[in-house]
Amino acid sequence: MESLKSEFPIFANAEKEGRTFIYFDSASSTQKPQSVIDAITEYYGGYYANVGRGLYWPATQASNEYAKARDKVRNFVGAKSAKEVIFTSGTTDAINKVANAVLLPTLEADDQVLVSEMEHHSNFVPWQQACIQKGADLKVIPLTTAHTIDLAALKATLNSKVKFVAITAVSNTLGTKNDIKIIVRLAHAVGALVLVDASQLTLSERIDVQKLDCDFLTFSAHKLFGPTGIGILYGKQALLERAIPFSYGGGMVALVNQDETTFADLPAKHEAGTPNIAGAIGLGAAIDFVESIGVAQIAKHNAALRTYTVHLLNQIEGVNLLAEDAGDASILSFTMEGIHPHDIATFLAEKGIAVRAGHHCTQPLLKSMGLPATVRLSFSVYNDQREIEQLKTALEEIKSFFG
């Protein structure tokens, strides 16, 4: 696959201003194609209205586009029904909502909740705090030497006290991928519900929630070429129906009386207030963009770039690649002997090369690896081999500067 740089206006704009811009930070957030930007401006400039109740043409059109976006998501994750697709403001918001509305009301002291050592803080702290609040136990499943969830340890930990298992599909720090299907099967066998953090999975493989059989799955649009402020919670219909509303307000009620309120049906029940309509429409356009290329194609492109990077960086002495063998990933973390990740990132930034240095919101993982920080590269459809060669040259320069 050719690089799709030309579809992303930021690169041409940077060039026009005489700035180099090589973007290796897509795991934090992807750049936006023109089609996504256009979808948003067309809404704001062409048919802007609130959704839900207006009888005039922009309201109808906005409501239609909002519904279409939901249906694109339904198709994208393979959900049975659009009722199973709840718009949130992002992954973090979605996870907090499940923790509050699904787990907390039934969690009791001595119950257990499982997460893994590789979780992003957003899929760690909400469960930890819920456990603290209720006196329940948070169990952190360790990783194998290949940096994936240790299934033997998971099996050994699962028992009937485990109410919930929250795991990421792909490590945002290392790129390694867990076997979600098996984890779900094991968890269901003891009656636990499973939430899958798919933030880094959406561009790595075609998601099929029915095959995965997970109870909840979440991701953010902004990592998928979509806008900020919008994310998805997929949930099995029966579970979403059973849960108390995620929040309360306009749009999610049926009848409001002084003493009680009855609630609307799914998905409205869990979406109080004016939604992020532009966000949903932008996400719809982002999914169209992804589908027009194909998730498998994107994943292949990214993995090839990672392989090439592994090849080149291994030629630099003192570079230490982490989870080097995670072959089909789009993320690659490394350190360099004697040079701190932040110094590396600052040097690269001065050359217009964007990477991330730090703990990547995975302090428990870094602690387990005995590292204070890494440099993280993450690849996407606008990257190419030449950029990786430039990265290599820059790293060699850094080495000799600090050497």
Partner 1 sequence: MTEKLKQLYKTQILKHAQNPFNEGKLEAYTHLIKAYNPVCGDQFDLYINIVDQRVIEASFTGYGCAISKASTSVLAKHILGKNKAEIAVFVADFLKLLDPNGPQPLEEITSDEELMAFAAAREFPERLSCANLAWLALVKELFPD
Q: Which does 200 bind (CB under 5 to 8 A by kind): partner 1, ligand PLP, a second copy, none?
A: ligand PLP
214 counts as catalytic: no
Q: Which one of 239, 321, 361, 366 is the catalytic residue?
A: 361
Nearest to 235 by CA among 271, 205, 264: 271
Q: Which does 353 bind (CB under 5 to 8 A by kind): partner 1, ligand PLP, a second copy, none?
A: a second copy
Binding of ligand PLP at residue 274 (CB under 6 A)? yes
Nearest to 176 by CA among 134, 117, 248: 117
Binding of ligand PLP at residue 250 (CB under 6 A)? yes
User: Among residues 46 and 318, whose Cβ is nearest to a second copy?
Assistant: 46
Instruction: Give the x/- contact pattern for ligand PLP in 160-199, rule: CB under 6 A.
Output: --------x---x------------------------x-x
The whole-angstrom separation of Cα 236 and Cα 213 is 9
Burial tier of 143 (Cβ tally within 10 Å: 0-12, 13-18, 19+): buried
Q: Which residue, chain included where needed, has tokens 């990933």?
A: 329
Run of H or E including 136: none
The whole-angstrom separation of Cα 120 and Cα 364 is 9
Binding of ligand PLP at residue 96 (CB under 6 A)? no
Nearest to 36 by CA among 86, 80, 72: 72
Q: Taking the complex as a whole, how short is the minimal distance between the CB of residue 344 and a second copy, in angstroms? A: 10
Half-sphere exposure of 169 (CA within 13 A, CB side): 25
Stretch that binds ligand PLP, among 67-75, 89-97, 125-133, 373-381 (CB under 6 A): 89-97
Q: Taking the complex as a whole, how short is the minimal distance between the CB of residue 377 and partner 1, in angstroms? A: 17
**Which parts of 203-222 interact with ligand PLP (CB under 6 A)?**
220
Q: Residues 177, 169: contact at Cβ < 8 Å?
A: yes
Instruction: Give the x/- contact pattern for ligand PLP in 346-365, rule: CB under 6 A.
Output: ---------------x----
CA 163, distance to chain mean position in Å, is 23
Binding site for partner 1 (CB under 8 A): 53-55, 59-60, 63, 253-255, 262, 339-343, 346-347, 350-351, 357-359, 363, 366, 372-373, 397, 401-402
Query: Which amino acid is located at 373 in the chain?
Result: A
The whole-angstrom separation of Cα 177 and Cα 326 is 8
Q: Taking the complex as a whole, how short is the minimal distance between the CB of residue 10 and a second copy, in angstroms? A: 6
Q: Taking the complex as a whole, how short is the minimal distance between the CB of residue 110 and a second copy, in angstroms? A: 16
Tokens linked to 371: 């590292």
Residues 6+ apart with CB under 8 A from 230: 87, 88, 89, 90, 220, 221, 222, 276, 279, 280, 282, 283
- Active-site annotation, residues: 361
Q: What are the residues binding ligand PLP (CB under 6 A)?
A: 90-92, 120, 122-123, 168, 172, 197, 199-200, 220, 250, 273-274, 361
